[in-house]
Amino acid sequence: MRVAVTGGAGYIGSHTVVCLLEAGHEVLILDSFANAAPDVPDRIAGIAGQSAQVMRVDITDRPALTDALTGFRPEAVLHFAGLKAVGEAVEMPLEYYRVNVAGSLELMRAMEAAGCHRLVFSSSATVYGDPDVVPIPETHALRPTNPYGHSKRMVEQVIEDWGVANPAVAAVNLRYFNPVGAHGSAQIGEAPQGVPNNLMPYVAQVAVGERPHLSVFGDDYDTPDGTGVRDYIHVVDLAQAHLAALDLTGREGGVQAINVGTGRGYSVLEMVRAFETASGRPVPYEIIARRPGDIATSLADPSLSAARLGWKAERDLEAMCRDAWVWQSYLAGKNSG
Ligand code: NAD
Ligand code: UDP
């Protein structure tokens, strides 16, 4: 198949492009490189043994997007491009709505112009807000608590309405839980700019000696050890869920939302210990106050993904930590060299 991938040079997008190329698909990456290194496409080619086409395009630029899609004539689009930092979204909501919501609208209009109606969208478990029940089923109420989460909910709504208006539309909104890890080749991974917001990259930077200690945001939650529990998923498992979702859009029309997680949770302190084991390095930490807006526990109910996608996560916590460590060690060597 010909598949266009917005944000295909980013963290999750790059791993998915590797899987697409390895499965024999023809891929066009559309990325502004706002949050991706310019050599990512070459690294993808090095792993997959094949190249993707690449166009530097901003998804908010409809003429450029339309030219790209009408030229490539994709059979499906995987849509990763967007802004993703919750704290930044609270400070810059207009920019988040412009890129995430207006950019997604431009993408759908460009897809219409190119006669393409198969779409897989990167949504997030953040659309659920503070859940009433865990594990969280897809039928749970959607009540995001910040502009980033609202932007994901809004795009899901637009896609649903597009599907009602146009019977040709076949789309899957994938609600990711907590993606971590990196490709086992240590050629691609997550390279946060500045201080990492997320736990795993922060822990990795402490283990490698770039930061003195981890601040654990609260140990008084209603969880077994008092620290927050999350459903971490290896990024390569997540990438493979996209191939399964792509297949689903070929089998069935309409719009569906599907969780992508493992259903198994780990606390902050369990993550610290697992990372210490994988890296052989200490991860000193201190407990500080809760981070505003955090919830105690977030866990996917993975039964719909198993039933609809025929997919389930295969990589365990040890693989997540090991691959994150190998990638972090590579980054540290690159930065010091
Ligand atoms: P990322 O920042 O690594 O990747 C996003 C890519 O989009 C980058 O390559 C960036 O250069 C590109 N991009 C940004 N703005 C663009 C624009 N205006 N036009 C074209 N390209 C643009 O992020 P990621 O972690 O790979 O996340 C991918 C998607 O998954 C995002 O939509 C994110 O909101 C969503 N998501 C991520 C997580 C997570 O924890 N990483 C969790 C849930 C959902
Ligand atoms: N966390 C922490 N210290 C950090 C970053 C995160 O204690 O420096 C905790 C956070 O409170 C949450 C868990 O780690 O319980 C996962 O946080 P992350 O930001 O990675 O994911 P999210 O909260 O968005 O699910």
For the segment 73-132, what is each residue's pLDDT rounded down to a tens digit? 999 999 999 999 999 999 999 999 999 999 999 999 999 999 999 999 999 999 999 999
Looking at the predicted structure, is the pLDDT value of residue 239 above 80?
Answer: yes
221 is catalytic: no
Unique residue bearing structure tokens 């198994």: 264
Find out whether the beta carbon of 176 lies less than 6 Å from any atom of ligand 1.
yes
The minimum-distance atom of ligand 2 relative to the CA of 271 is 14
The catalytic residue among 148, 176, 202, 266 is 148
User: Which of 65, 80, 182 is CA-nearest to residue 112?
Assistant: 65
Instruction: Indicate which ligand has the atom closest to the C-alpha of 36.
Output: 1
What is the per-residue pLDDT for 331? Answer: 93
What is the per-residue pLDDT for 137? Answer: 98
The residue whose C-alpha atom lies closest to atom 19 belonging to ligand 2 is: 198
What is the per-residue pLDDT for 236? Answer: 98
User: Which of 277, 319, 283 is CA-nearest to residue 204?
Assistant: 283
What is the per-residue pLDDT for 21? Answer: 98
Gap between the Cα atoms of 256 and 271, Å rounded: 32
Q: What is the pLDDT of residues 2-49, one digit of tens each?
A: 999 999 999 999 999 999 999 999 999 999 999 999 999 999 999 999
What is the per-residue pLDDT for 4? Answer: 99
Looking at the predicted structure, is the pLDDT value of residue 334 above 90?
Answer: no
The residue whose C-alpha atom lies closest to atom 7 belonging to ligand 2 is: 216
Distance from residue 231's CA to the centre of ligand 1 (Å): 19
Distance from residue 21's CA to the centre of ligand 1 (Å): 20
Instruction: Indicate which ligand has the atom closest to the C-alpha of 85.
Output: 1
Distance from residue 182's CA to the centre of ligand 2 (Å): 18
Cβ within 8 Å of residue 197, ≥6 positions away: 85, 86, 87
What confidence category does residue 335 fall into, taking pLDDT thresholds of 50, 70 and 90? confident
Cβ within 8 Å of residue 273, ≥6 positions away: none
Instruction: Indicate which ligand has the atom closest to the C-alpha of 37.
Output: 1
Chain centre to alpha carbon of residue 291: 22
Q: What is the pLDDT of residues 244-258, one digit of tens each?
A: 999 999 999 999 999
Distance from residue 31's CA to the centre of ligand 2 (Å): 27
Find out whether the beta carbon of 156 lies less than 6 Å from any atom of ligand 1.
no
Gap between the Cα atoms of 321 and 314, Å rounded: 14
The SS3 assignment for 195 reads coil
The residue whose C-alpha atom lies closest to atom 19 belonging to ligand 1 is: 58
∠31-23-64 over CA atoms, to 5°? 20
Distance from residue 216's CA to the centre of ligand 2 (Å): 8
Gap between the Cα atoms of 112 and 91, Å rounded: 33
Which whole number is the average pLDDT over 312-316? 96
Find out whether the beta carbon of 216 lies less than 6 Å from any atom of ligand 2.
yes
